[in-house]
Structure 1
Amino acid sequence: MAGESATGGVAPSGPATAPGARALPEPCPDGAPGCVDGTIAELRARMATLGRGCAHHSTFALAYLRTTEGFKWGRDAGFFSDDTWVNREGALFAEYYYRAYDDWAAGRRSAVPLAWLAALDAARDRRLTGAGDLMLGMNAHINRDLPYVLASVGLTAPDGSSRKPDHDKVNEILAEVTDPILAELIARFDPYGFDVGISPDTVLGLIITWREQAWRNAVRLTNARTPFARAVVELDIESTAAATAAGLATLTSYVPPFTGPGPRAAHCAAHHADPPPLAYPFGLPPAY
């Protein structure tokens, strides 16, 4: 099945090689408060296209949108010590997702990181449960993208203090939005693919572990003093994220003829525009 693009593009299949890590320019270098509003607007537009088409990519897209809305709520509630820095980080983080998806949708496979290829191809082919699509997207974005983002925006403040406390504050926001996100994914997109016998707390713990490792990898990138040293760290980041994607895919693949995407597709066709069943800390957002 052709890949659904948020802009209507098609991602052809074909061989791919691991691209070198490309540093993306910051879309919001001044860290203005409106940065997150722009990110939410873009994520909402992409989610609307994917969700209305019941693309399997919509699972991660919805989770990313709601997490970013939660990030804005946390920022406005005073979670962070340096809003400018977290605004910059959030905008650049989203840019890595846009670039991976758009390169994939346009068929530029050699430009797409391997972890993202695994996630996006699996969603296109409807090979995984909703839990699988979600976790492969999160793996690509956290284990692969986040170290580069953190290293780019800087790990220390001008006074030499660490940015780590603000990085860790995001975990508190994730704890607040995990249950509503899962409830919304189940109600609107896939009531069959999230009953995997693993508690939401366990999933949250895994994500927090990934975020801790992303910080450590960002430190390694920052401390790499030669191109060779940097390349070694990048290879480790890329290969580990790709291997994690492969393991997650094995665990969450459909098993024809016993299981498949048909019931999920029928449910989504009937319910994708339903309102979220649980309120988020920032309120009850519209479906689209």
Structure 2
Amino acid sequence: MTAPVDAGVAAVVRELEDRLAALPAGQDARRAFLGTYARTTTAIGQALAAGVFEDPGWVRRWDVAFVGHFLAAHDADVDGGAVPRPWRLAFDADPALPTLVHLLLELNAHVNYDLPQALLEVVSDDDFDHPVLMAARRRDHERVDTLIASRVAVEGRALPGGARLAARLLAPLDRWSTHRFLPAARRQVWANAVDLHEARRTGPEAYAARIAELDVLTSARIAELLRPGPVLLRLAARGFGVRLPPP
């Protein structure tokens, strides 16, 4: 029996599945990302329905906002429109690259660039003035880390053909790297969100300048991921996240 999924999250899962169904032939990398994302979002919805989070309403709003950033980039790309540079670099990567690399490129754009902005959409400036509230929300943010890390093996088995074989051969390194670099990246995301909050309080120009810095850092990390060589080993050594410099 399938575990129940929170109704609010189920709605965005359907949006992801609709985009997946509409993909034309030859979009294997995007298909892999959309499939992985839909399954992971379903798992978050199941955790919400099971009462895993301290503030389920906030986690639901965050997840909907976060998925919305990807959907906006995906839809704009499909329609031939402008997308943020990190997404453009990820979407335009050589289709011949391994599926695992494409997944990492799109994950980089979504986590490092989109996630701090999505957090700011569901955490007001007033919220930041309440330490108890923010501590609870940070704990829920970290619970998502645990859930994502638990899905590494499952998603490796779901990859198609040669990518699935590569994931199985690299499974020990993959699990170790993911347990290390993804939680570390999300801690940096939280710190970046705090910095963006301070910029937002200063004014629109300061906020726009910090978003531009985040764009540069995320795009540079994509360029690093595209270098020849063992991507997972580089991630294990260098990490996955980016960190805004002091203002």
Whether the TM-score (by the shorter chain) exceeds 0.5 is yes
Please tell me whether residue 132 in structure 1 is matched to residue 106 in structure 2. Answer: no
Please tell me whether residue 246 in structure 1 is matched to residue 223 in structure 2. Answer: yes
Corresponding residue number in structure 2 for 1:222: 197
Which consecutive residues of structure 2, in runs of 5 or more, have no partner in the other structure? 1-5, 231-247
Greater helix proportion? 2
Corresponding residue number in structure 1 for 2:85: 114
Equivalent AA in structure 2 for residue 239 of structure 1: V
Distance of 1:135 and 1:252 partners within structure 2: 14
Query: 1:191 offset after TM fit, Å?
Result: 3.5
Corresponding residue number in structure 1 for 2:174: 199
**TM (normalized to structure 1)?**
0.68
Q: Could you report, residue by residue, the CA deviation over 1:195-240 in whole angstroms, capped at 9, with x for unpaired residues?
A: 5683322134222222111111111111111333223321221111
Corresponding residue number in structure 2 for 1:176: 150
Q: Could you report, residue by residue, the CA deviation over 1:65-107 in whole angstroms, capped at 9, with x for unpaired residues?
A: 1110110121122221111111111111111001111111211
CA change 1:158–1:138 in 2 (3 A) is same
The alignment partner of 1:205 has SS state of helix
Corresponding residue number in structure 2 for 1:143: 112
Equivalent AA in structure 1 for residue 86 of structure 2: A
CA change 1:238–1:157 in 2 (3 A) is closer
Query: 1:51 offset after TM fit, Å?
Result: 8.5
Distance of 1:196 and 1:113 partners within structure 2: 31
Structure 1 vs Structure 2 CA RMSD: 2.4
Distance of 1:51 and 1:168 partners within structure 2: 36
Contact 2:156 2:164 in 1 (8 A): no
Equivalent AA in structure 2 for residue 136 of structure 1: L
Corresponding residue number in structure 2 for 1:80: 53
Query: 1:60 offset after TM fit, Å?
Result: 1.3
Query: 1:251 offset after TM fit, Å?
Result: 3.8
Q: Which range is displaced more, 81-90 or 67-76?
A: 67-76
Percent of aligned pairs with the same amino acid: 29
Distance of 2:24 and 2:182 partners within structure 1: 24
Equivalent AA in structure 1 for residue 180 of structure 2: G
Please tell me whether residue 41 in structure 1 is matched to residue 14 in structure 2. Answer: yes
Corresponding residue number in structure 2 for 1:98: 71
Contact 1:56 1:133 in 2 (8 A): yes
Q: Which range is displaced more, 150-159 or 243-252?
A: 150-159
The alignment partner of 1:171 has SS state of helix
Corresponding residue number in structure 1 for 2:121: 152
Query: 1:192 offset after TM fit, Å?
Result: 5.3
Contact 1:129 1:252 in 2 (8 A): no
Distance of 2:138 and 2:148 partners within structure 1: 16
Distance of 2:166 and 2:20 partners within structure 1: 19
Higher relative contact order (CA 8 A, sep 6+): 1
CA change 1:211–1:131 in 2 (3 A) is same
Query: 1:48 offset after TM fit, Å?
Result: 3.0
Contact 1:82 1:166 in 2 (8 A): yes
